[in-house]
Structure formats: structure tokens, C-alpha cells
Chains A and B, each alone.
Chain A
Amino acid sequence: MTRLPPKGRIQKLTRLSLLVAFGLALYAVESFISLPVGRVGLANLATLLALILFGGGEAFLVMGMRVLLGSILIGGFFNPAFLLSAAGGVASTLVMILLFPFYPRVFSIVGISIWGALGHNLAQLLAAYLLLGQAQAIFSLLPFIPIISLGGGLIIGLLAWLVICRLPVQLSMIN
């Protein structure tokens, strides 16, 4: 960030802020509409785009800001819902950052996204166990994890792929 000229730094700051706002909007939409098929973690799209366009640190920043602002604007701060959302966000971002060196040779955007969804759902299950106890009850949900992760990961991954394909070349080469 320090090596960029002032104009570049402002541009980057603006673009990261836009990604945070984008993630917040998706988070809000998702918390208002509850489809019968369940939630897919749409807000993860902003984190994934930040990872691909800027890098790991920036992706973590976008996720952290979104979880924090989201809990202040939409849900209560530090209630169980916030803790579950924070655990899911941190885990999915860390998993995606760790696997990012394998992009694009081993895993495509879709693959990275499915890994992120898997990390998100497993961390939420673990957080629910730590909050509520009830090991047997909570881990009986384990067979549903791959189904939700596949559904969510595929949708987010394909959306991210479409966005990256449509971005002007200069924007996708920013870093």
C-alpha cells in the first residue's frame, strides 16, 4: 500500500470500501429474505472478490469490517448471531487465503469459494457447539454440511467468476 502513489492509494481505499458496502448490502438482503432453501452466505462474495482482486490481507479487512458493521447495523453486537457470523467469516476467509496459492492451477474461483463455504459452515457448527454444548445434537447436523457448502459455494463462486470476467482489464490488474 505504501509503494502506490497517492492517487493509487485513494483508488484502492475507495474500491475496498465499495467491497465492504457491497458485502453489507448482500448481508442485509440475506437477513431479510429467508428462502426455504436456506442461506447461501452471499456476503462471502465481497470477501472472495477482495481476495482475488487485492489479496489475503485486504480480503480479511473487508470481511472484518462487514461482520463488525453488519452486527452494529442489523443484528445486536456480541449476541449469539454475531458470534456465529464472526466465526464463519473468519474461518472461511482464512481457508480461502490458505488455499489461494493453488489458484488458478489446482482450484478455480469456484473451488476456492466451495472451500470457503465449507470453512464457514464447519466453524459455525463448532461455534454453536461451544455456545450451546449438546455435542450429539449439534453434530447430527454434520451430514448436511457438504450439501449446504456445495450449494452456497457453487453459487458464490460462479457469481465471482462472472464479475471477474466482466471487469475491465485495468481494474483486475490493480495490484
Chain B
Amino acid sequence: MKKPLTIGDIILIGLLVLWSLSAFLPRGERGRYVLIEAEGKPLGRYPLNGEREISAPGPLGKTHIKIAGGKVWVVDSPCPHKLCVKMGKRGRAGEVIVCVPNRVIVRVEGRREFDTITP
């Protein structure tokens, strides 16, 4: 009871820190388009090279998304965890920003998806 941390704790914390580093690995080609889905339905497709602000409606309110400088990010969202805001700026093909509580999904798409999916 005197020591707050044991060997097992320190190993566990070390493993979790290593796992969390995988969030910072960059991968994939540059994205070209942003596809936004709100409440399961596609809201629109926007080019990544423009500058634009979008409000996606969800069950909790409006999630504010911004596109600028070849990146897309969530500026503000009414969800409790703000995980989508913390996911930061994304610009690589295949990257996704999700707001689970407000049911908003932001996908970055490369060239290939553009030929196959039509909203």
C-alpha cells in the first residue's frame, strides 16, 4: 500500500505508450476529395485543395468541419469526448475522422475512389 506503482503497472504503462505511438505514423498517398456522411447518409463531396467550412447536422447538433491547405479537420462538435476534434488535421487518402456520438463521418479519398463511387 506504500508504493502506488508496481513492476506490472510500469510494464503496462510502457506497452500502452508504445501502442499510442501508432497514432502518429503517417501512411498513404495524398487525398483529393473529402466525403462527409451525416447520420448514415452522404452529405457531400468537396475538393481537398479548396478552402471551405461545412456544418454537418447530427442528433446532438452541428459538427463544424473545415477544409484548408489540403487538410480537413473538425473545428467543433457537440459530442462529449471531442475525440473528432482531437483527431486533428487529416489529408491522406483513406484517413477518416469519426464523431460516433453525433454520427458524422469525414473520409479523405484518393483518386481511385473518385472513379468508383458517385454520391
Contact = CB atoms under 8 A, between A and B. Distances in A.
B82 A36 contact: yes
B7 interface: yes
Contacts of A60: none
B86 interface: yes
A143 B19 contact: yes
Contact of B16 (A109, A128, A146, A157): A146
- A-B pairs with lowest CB-CB distance, top 8: A143-B23, A111-B9, A106-B8, A146-B16, A146-B20, A146-B19, A38-B81, A107-B8
B1 A104 contact: yes
B116 interface: no
Interface of A: 31, 34, 36, 38-39, 81, 102, 104-111, 114-115, 118, 128, 132, 134, 136-138, 140-141, 143-150, 157-158, 161, 164-165
Interface of B is mostly: mixed
Contacts of A149: 16
Contacts of B13: 114, 150
B83 A108 contact: no
Interface residues of B, number: 32
A150 B87 CA distance: 17
A157 B9 CA distance: 11
Contacts of A107: 6, 8-9, 12
Given A138-B100, A165-B1, 8 more contacts: A38-B83, A106-B6, A137-B96, A140-B98, A144-B86, A145-B19, A148-B81, A158-B4
Contacts of B20: 143-144, 146-147, 150
A118 B19 CA distance: 12
Contacts of A31: 80
B118 interface: no
Interface string B18-56: 011011000000000000000010000000000000000
B105 interface: yes
B96 to A, nearest CB: 5
A105 B6 CA distance: 7
A98 to B, nearest CB: 14
